[in-house]
Structure 1
Amino acid sequence: MNKFNLAIPSKYLAPLSGIQRVFEVGFILSTFIACYAMVALVSFDPADPSWSQTSWEGPAKNAAGSFGAWIGDVLFFTFGLYAYVIPLAFVSLAWFIFWRPRQLDEIDFFTVGLRMIGTLLLLIGVCGLASVNFDDLYYFSSGGLIGDVVEQAISELFGVLGSTLILLSFVAIGFTLLTGISWLTIVDMLGAGVINICQYSIDKVTALSNRQASVVANEAVVDTEHDDLSVSKIAETPITVQPVDALDDVTDMSFTAARQEPSISAFEVSDVEPNDDDQFTRDNMIAADNVDRQNVDDDSADETIIVEQQLELDQMEPVLAPVFQINNNNTDTDTDTDTDNGFEIVGDQVVSTNPLQFKEKPVTLLPGLELLDKPNKKANPISQAELDHVARLVEEKLLEFNIIAKVVDVYPGPVITRFELDLAPGIKVSKISALSKDLARSLSAMSVRIVEVIPGKSVIGLELPNKYRETVYLSDVMSSPAFINAKSKTSVVLGHDIAGDAVVVDLAKMPHLLVAGTTGSGKSVGVNVMIMSLLYKASPEEVRMIMIDPKMLELSVYEGIPHLLTEVVTDMKDAANALRWCVGEMERRYKLLSAVGVRNLAGFNTKIQQAIDAGQPILDPLWKPGDSMDETAPELIKLPAIVVIVDEFADMMMIVGKKVEELIARIAQKARAAGIHLILATQRPSVDVITGLIKANIPTRIAFQVSSKIDSRTILDQAGAETLLGMGDMLYQPAGTSVPIRVHGAFVDDHEVHRVVADWKLRGKPNYIDEILNGEATADTLLPGEVAEGSSDVDELFDQAVYHVTETRRGSVSGVQRKFKIGYNRAARIVEEMEVQGIVSSPGNNGNREVLAPPPPKD
């Protein structure tokens, strides 16, 4: 049994302060006075004693008494017909004062003055209009004393029509000054309301016509099927089930709902035109319900079974109709299969045995946008009147801090609105930047970001968050001309800028990208959006990927797509091998570019394609006999771009260490022309992760929301990211500029990613390269000071060093280093090799080594 919660919030039980008590008493008294005045006006009798009536007989007939008769007489004498509005206006004013007891120190006296002027103009206008155009009320003027004065002042000069127009302008101006509402907004709302009513009427008429046509068509189909229904057909016809495209993932569809009492919504007629091939026949419905069929010999038994089955079917059809439909293009479906068609009947349920049975290999080169959710666009909830009000408020708040500025332009966006300010001469931008938190407090905003420099303009920007935040959908950005017309196959989507325009960037021009932000700021969603952009823009022959996912959650969903060069790397020891392979591939590509005589990957692919088209393919200049079973060098083919995506490289650097930083630096320094690009993401933007070596080689960066200015400076070399709003709000800093661009990141949901991944898996399987994770390091991929594993090469100074150590009987690294004037690392490797061969012992507690080998023989 439900119980009502009668608990009263504690804030309503708190005692009122002194000023609050005064205001509440004032409001109560004002309400009773207004009610008394309204009673006096409604029950007013001209014969009652009053201020303008002195002859009477008997008591007053007014319900408010003789005093009420006086009140009513004064109000009618002063305001005429509009005396009835005065009590309502009085209550509204009392409520306004009562509601603002804590904000008296924040009253905008300029706005209050405008409201008072507006009230006066509105009162003059309506009273004058009543006096000019309406008959008298009782023995009072219809506009009261105010209307009479106005009429006498203007009627002789302008006439009735002219006076009416002038007074109407007074009413319009007074309404705007009093309420602050623009008449253009009212006109827009009225127009939108008329359009909505017309559209609603048209939709209703269209829906009714379609419903009637569908009912007639369904009755025709039912009449046709009545003639063909038979017991033998019911028992022998196999079952063919085809789900709607939107329900491909459903693996267990129960028919038990057909036996329940159907709801009203279940009987609504579908707008889809019925087709004989597109409906479940009644024999299929009865077979799906697993009704026990028996052979009946006499005609009467046959008729009884058919009637009972027909009744069952009539109840099942409305429930099942919206769930299933048949693809009209699939006309040659084999109806003789049972469990091979992807579904199996178990009891009362149809269970999917192959969830991909109905998905055929796509025929298009790239996935379609129908795999993504459609954007739920809404009209901009910010009106021009609200923008103007906030602009004035910004100017007033800046003036309180002795900053004279004027809002010259406003750019409303999906998440934030930018106000461009023109500062008075002599005002420094740094003064406003230092007041960002104070401005946020004064404007009741979550955060305020000051844009100190706007390229090409002499103004500064003030970015305020919108009251209602819009979602930027990936499908909306991908359907924009900026992405569709982008020619580069490495174009990626970021989102919308502050004006709502799509932001699409090219990885080939970056050529590497650093992404950082705190947990929950939208970093992982941003990386997924970039990957989805590549899947929508390029085929596996054009772009290949290597994904490194230490968290084993974010990128594992892409396992199995044909774009991958290797499995998603989750072991950080394998991650170093993958980066080392990229270094080797970079060196190999540079040798190919040099041999072919081009400067970058695009020029290489163009030259290779031209040679193939001319019938004179170019042979591999790096091939050597014995590299393969072929007798001649293989033909060169176009090379794809390679994108290496690391979701959390802070964990990788923690495990693998300095080696990863040096490999990343080598790739970032040279891989641009070779078509290899890095996307590094981290949620720990600290200097030990984003080192100076990495920042120097990756100039393009994206900063999501961070917790402090220090983290923002670590990423962007400037503050600003700490004022972002989170949930995809980012600052994108392109290479070659120090002015970041604010972008609201696109949103892609997990089920959208799964749909696109499943679509690519139907197109083909990945061709993994085992050498990426298991290959041996070559001379081109070794870092300075590294030695290849399993190498049998001994340092050329080894024999001399052994002679020196055994002769001097001192096995120290520093001794070998000084004797042969070599580096410390090389000397340490020589001494360690001596330890392996048993010439010296391992270092003791004091670090000294004992020489075990005998001294060399003396001549």
Structure 2
Amino acid sequence: MAKKTSNRKTSSRKSSATRGGTRSSSRSSSKRSTTRKKTTGNRSTSRKQSRVSLQQKVLFGGIGVVFLSALLALSLLAPSQGQLTTVLTDLMLNLFGWGGWLVPFITLLVGIYLVFWGMDQPLELPTFRLLGAGILFTVFETAASLGVLLSANGLNDVWAIAKAHRGGGYYGGLFVYALMNAIGPLGTVFTLLVVAILGLILVSGLTRDDMTYYLHEFVAWIKTRPERDPEVAINTPRTRRVTAPSEEPAATQPPLLPEDGVPARPVREPKREPAVKRPSRRIPESAPQKEEPTILSPVFLGNNGRSKDHHWELPTVPDMLNPGMDQDTSGVVIREQSRVIEHTLDSFGAPAKVVEINQGPTITQFGVEPSYIQMRNGKRTKVKVGKIAGLADDLALALEAKSIRIQAPVPGKGYVGIEVPNPAKALVSLRDVMETAAFQKSARKSPLAIGLGQDVGGQPIVANLDAMPHLLIAGTTGSGKSICVNSIITSLLLQNTPDSLKLVMVDPKRVELTGYNGIPHLAAPVIVEIDKVIGTLQWALREMDSRYKRFAEVGARNIVDYNKKVRRHKTLEPIPYIVIIIDELADLMMLSPEDTERSITRLAQLARATGMHMVIATQRPSVDVVTGLIKANFPARVAFAVASGTDSRVILDATGAERLLGQGDMLYQSPDAPAPVRAQGCFVSDGELTKLIAYWQRARRFNVVPAEESIQKRESRRPIPKPQPRTAPARDAETGTMPTPVDAPIIKMDASTTDEAKTVVNQPPVREKAAPQSRPNPQLKEEPAATPKPPPSQQPLWEALQAEETEDDVPELDDELLPEAIALVRKLNKASTSLLQRRFRIGYTRAARIVDYMAEVGIIGPPTGTSKAREVLPWQDDGETNET
């Protein structure tokens, strides 16, 4: 047992010793492997550090090439300085002949390129330009050898010419030898000319469009060379090839611009353009009408150009407006900008390619198509549009532009639009837009066509107030907002007579619209007092309701149907369009925001069918001025330059207006367009406005027709009614007012009417005073100086202003319920509109009119400002009830 135990202990010791040896051996082996790994890592690190990068190698190689070029130049200048310089000189002159003097320069350029490449600033040298330079050098060498060979200098062998260091050396002699044996001397010369032209095209980068443009320029220069000025003007006006009008009045106007689009050169004695008369838009005549002699110059009439009582003549566009000015940007500059755009996008990890270029009067739009990028997983993914849109500031920095707008993407196109400002702006005249086929087409459909400007492609932007039906304009001071309003007014005045269009202008600033006072289109003088604007809007609402009643009586849906039916029945007269122009909305919203918003919203919602449209402008596009209700009813909007993107969202519901350039640069949101369109607005100068206003003021003086005479003429055309017993006219069940006859004129107003010839205005029913009817004296026209008259003034539109001008402070109310209402309020000792509505079962308007009248005559007190009823004043027996 003792032996067995000892054996077991001995074996356990051996096993433990064996385990300890194994552990120690494993530890030592692990230490060795760790030491080897560290040694291997240090060796690899030292190898990496000892390696020279490729850029450093290229840098060193570029420096060596620059040194070689200097050595070659020294060898050519001093070939006898040593054996090396002599050998280098003989080598260059034998190989390239006269072209050997260009070898040091070419070598220097290669060295500079390698140095910049090694400094991680590689120069961009397109491959086609390098290829073109090589072709031109080869042509030069070949032509030099050919010239020496064909000259009578005793050298009839190209190899002898090369040994003599003349011509193109062995390099040029090789091409001459091959071409002379193949196609002869003439073929060689022709081939060299063709190849030289190809090399020039590659070096210059000319495209087919550029070559076509320069060819047309050359042809135009040849045609106009005898009459050309010694100095060429930079800003040349756009000239049009306009033919004289034909004898037929319905002839269409010929094209106004040449198809090639090449601007004509200025000449010494520019010929005046012949005046082109606008074709008239005529109404189908049911019976032949006699042409009466007119006083003004004979021009064509519009669709409503001839009235029953007046002889209005529309002015011609060439006589009133001037053409614009072109500013063409060089094609080389545009191509350089496209190259910079592609390089900048590629450097920021958004590679793209310019696929389309649209040059406009103010900006040039580059259509950029996103390219593909290689992902880490090996897949190709197209660049996101949002990534390109976020690089606007970086592109502006690279192009050295004031501001860049990116439209991502362009609606209906497969690219992103990058809009870059042109070096010089072109002047877009209103005449340039009105003489286009697009405007003529729109004008034939509706007389409310307006010209807004030209888009980024130079195409005209024409709108129609009848289809808008209202327009909202916003922009900061100096952005072109007022000029846009003037261009809209000018477009309307050039197409409509005072019988077919009436204007209501509101100008609280007393600057922009006051100059239109005196034209016959105005329904009233330009309103400059802010406290009278609410009355103007209320008059417009009453006029709108009155027109709807007239439409219902004749079964018409809108103003066009009504005027068509009226022309069939000669006893009635057509009603004109009404355009309400408000120059500054912010002033009105500060004075009475609730009334202004309510009136504008109701007009915008309902007035379209009645032929009433609004053009509202503001220079403070904030949410408290352009409210949600107003903006929702103005789908057509024009945004000029604004201060921030927040203001741009208020106008257009999108950013972009904050990046506009000002001076007519705008974004136009059409009611049927998915996104705003950038354009350059039309420009109308002060001289053009003065000329147009003076024309209509002169026309007003020759078309003065007293209201009494006009009424007599209108009454003479009506059938004679049968004698009927004299009865009191029926009153309206709701309002108790006198019914308005269907054929009464809505607005029959002329600026030249005097006190003897008052204007007939559709106003709220008041008690009319009897006035003696006097026939107009025909001698007044022959002897105008016999009886001095006050200056003509346009009459107001609403009852309050008429009361102020006539100084008639006695209020009158013709209502059969007035005595009962006075007795009721005195009995109950309180008065309110709701009280009269409940007791007499009448409408709000009639009850409010009775309450206002009782407050004016002193029966009840003023409003308390709360929901309480008004106080009834002590009864004074002053005969108030007897008057009623």
Which residue is 1:654 aligned to? 590
Query: How many angstroms does 1:419 deviate by?
Result: 2.3
Cα distance change on mapping 1:513 and 1:803 into 2, 3 Å: closer
Which residue of 1 is the match for residue 125 of structure 2?
A: 111
Match of 2:450 in 1: 492
Counterpart-to-counterpart distance in 2, 1:197 and 1:164? 28
1:478 to 411, 414, 434: 434
How far apart in 2 are the matches of 1:111 and 1:184?
A: 23
> Which residue of the other structure, out of 554, 560, 566, is the alignment partner of 1:596?
554
Q: Which residue of 1 is the match for residue 136 of structure 2?
A: 122
> Is the 1:490–1:543 Cα contact (8 Å) retained in structure 2?
no
Q: 2:660 touches 2:666 (CA, 8 Å); kept in 1?
A: yes
The aligned residue for residue 501 of structure 1 is 459
Contact kept in structure 2, 1:574 and 1:773, CA below 8 Å: no
Select between 525-534 and 573-582 the one with higher mean Cα deviation. 573-582
**Counterpart Cα distance in 1 of 2:499 and 2:869:** 57
Cα deviation per residue 1:145-167 (whole Å; 9 max; x = unaligned)? 43235446776667666665665
Contact 1:176-1:183 at 8 Å conserved across structures: no
C-alpha displacement at 1:427, in angstroms?
Answer: 3.6
TM-score, normalised via structure 1 length: 0.60
Measure the CA separation in 1 of the matches of 2:360 and 2:429.
Answer: 14
Q: Which residue of structure 2 aligns with residue 401 of structure 1?
A: 348
- Alpha-carbon distance between aligned partners in 1 of 2:120 and 2:698, rounded to the nearest angstrom: 65
- Whether the aligned pair in 2 keeps the contact of 1:371 and 1:756 (CA below 8 Å) is no
- SS state of the match for residue 530, structure 1? helix
SS class of match (2:368): strand
| Residue of structure 2 aligned with 1:458, choices 402, 414, 421 | 414
Q: Distance in 1 between matches of 2:350 and 2:497?
A: 56
Match of residue 396 from structure 2:
440
Correspondent of 1:702 among 638, 646, 651: 638
Greater Cα offset, 453-462 or 440-449: 453-462
Q: 1:131 aligns with which of 145, 154, 169?
A: 145
Q: CA deviation at 1:471?
A: 1.1
Helix, strand or coil at the partner of 1:537: coil
Structure 2 CA distance, aligned partners of 1:79 and 1:186?
Answer: 33
- Work out whether residues 830 and 870 of structure 2, in 8 Å CA contact, stay in contact via their aligned partners in 1: no
Change (3 A) 1:195 1:611: same
Q: Does 1:429 align with 2:385?
A: yes
Give me the whole-angstrom Cα distance separating, in 1, the residues matched to 2:269 and 2:339.
Answer: 53
Q: Deviations over 1:316-356 (max 9, x none)?
A: xxxxxxxxxxxxxxxxxxxxxxxxxxxxxxxxxxxxxxxxx
Deviations 1:151-197 (A, max 9, x none): 46776667666665665555444434444345874675366345424
Q: Secondary structure at the match of 2:569?
A: helix
SS in 1 for 2:138: helix
Match of 1:712, SS state, is: helix
- Over residues 638-662 of structure 1, what are the superposed CA-to-partner deviations in whole Å (9 max), with x where a residue is unaligned? 1110001111111122223321111
Residues 747, 72 of structure 1: alpha-carbon distance in 2 compared, 3 angstrom cutoff: farther
Q: Is the 8 A contact 2:325 2:428 kept in 1?
A: no
Distance 1:840 1:490 in 2: 45
- Per the alignment, residue 668 of structure 2 pairs with 732
Equivalent residue runs for 1:518-557 within 5 Å: 518-557=476-515
Q: Residue in 2 aligned with 1:413?
A: 360
Cα displacement (A) at 1:501: 1.7
Bigger Rg, which one: 2
Aligned pair partner of 1:776 in 799, 806, 817: 799
In 2, Cα distance between equivalents of 1:696 and 1:746: 26
Deviation at 1:397, TM superposition (A): 2.2
1:272-283 equivalences in 2 (<5 Å):
none
1:72 and 1:379, CA in 2 relative to 1: closer, same or farther beyond 3 A? farther
CA–CA separation in structure 2 for the residues paired with 1:841 and 1:716: 41
The one-letter code of the counterpart of 1:469 is K
User: Is contact 1:514-1:680 (8 Å) kept?
Assistant: yes
Q: Mark the CA change 1:406 to 1:541 in structure 2 (over 3 Å): closer, same or farther.
A: same
For residue 734 of structure 1, what is the amino acid of its counterpart? S
Q: 1:468 to 1:87 in 2, by over 3 A?
A: farther
Per-residue CA deviation, residues 800-859 of structure 1 (Å, 9 max, x unaligned), is: 986999xxxxxxx9xxxxxxxxx9xx9xx99x98xx989999899xx99999999xxxxx
The correspondence of residues 303-702 of structure 1 with structure 2, limited to 5 A, is 361-364=296-299, 365-375=313-323, 377-378=325-326, 380-383=328-331, 385-424=332-371, 426-485=382-441, 486-487=443-444, 488-612=446-570, 617=571, 636-702=572-638
Relative to structure 1, is the Cα distance of residues 592 and 720 closer, same or farther in structure 2, using a 3 angstrom cutoff?
A: same
Residues 656 and 848 of structure 1: is their aligned pair in 2 closer, same or farther, counting only changes over 3 Å?
closer
**RMSD, aligned CA:** 5.0
Q: Secondary structure at the match of 1:403?
A: coil
Residue 489 of structure 1 aligns to a residue in which SS? coil
Counting only pairs closer than 5 Å after superposition, residues 282-297 of structure 1 correspond to structure 2 as none
Deviations 1:739-773 (A, max 9, x none): 11222111111011101111111111571567674
State the 1:460 CA deviation: 3.0
**AA of the residue aligned to 1:120:** G
With over 3 angstroms needed to count, the CA separation of the structure-2 counterparts of 1:38 and 1:580, relative to structure 1, is farther
C-alpha spacing 1:660/1:187, structure 2 compared with 1 (3 Å):
closer
Contact 1:721 1:730 in 2 (8 A): yes
CA distance in 1, matches of 2:860, 2:452: 60
What TM-score results when the alignment is normalised by the length of structure 2?
0.58
Cα gap change, 1:704/1:796 in structure 2, threshold over 3 Å: closer, same or farther? Answer: farther
**Does the 8 Å CA contact 1:489/1:543 hold for their aligned counterparts?**
no
The 3 A distance-change label for structure 1 pair 505 and 841 is closer
Contact kept, 8 Å, 1:841 with 1:852, in 2: the verdict is no
1:404 positional shift: 3.5
Task: Give the distance between the partners of 2:558 and 2:347, measured in 1 at CA.
Answer: 58
Q: Distance in 2 between matches of 1:151 and 1:481?
A: 59
**Offset from partner CA, 1:505-552 (integer Å, 9 cap, x none):** 110111100000111111100110000000111111111101111111
Question: 1:479, CA displacement in angstroms?
Answer: 1.7
Q: Is contact 2:487-2:684 (8 Å) kept?
A: yes
Query: Which amino acid letter does the alignment assign opposite residue 479 of structure 1?
Result: E
Kept in 2, the 8 Å contact 1:114–1:178? The answer is yes
Change (3 A) 1:78 1:707: farther
Higher deviation after alignment, 474-483 or 638-647: 474-483
CA distance in 2, matches of 1:201, 1:428: 56
Note closer, same or farther for the CA distance 1:543–1:146 as it changes in structure 2 (3 Å cut): same
State the shift of 1:141 in Å: 3.3
Equivalent pairs, count: 600
Partner SS state of residue 732, structure 1: strand
In 1, Cα distance between the equivalents of 2:413 and 2:352? 15
d(CA) in 1 for partners of 2:873 and 2:423?
82
Corresponding residue of 2:730: none
Distance 1:607 1:93, change over 3 A: farther
**Matches of 2:448 and 2:831, distance apart in 1:** 58
| Secondary structure in structure 2 of the residue aligned to 1:201 | coil
Q: How much does 1:558 deviate?
A: 1.1
Answer whether contact 1:704 1:730 (CA < 8 A) is retained. yes
Which runs of 5 or more residues in structure 1 are unaligned? 1-25, 55-65, 205-268, 273-358, 618-635, 779-787, 806-812, 814-822, 855-859
Q: Which amino acid aligns with 2:348?
A: F
Deviation at 1:374, TM superposition (A): 3.5
Q: Is the contact between residue 543 and residue 563 of structure 1 (CA under 8 Å) also seen in structure 2?
A: yes
Q: Which letter does structure 1 place at the counterpart of 2:361? A: P
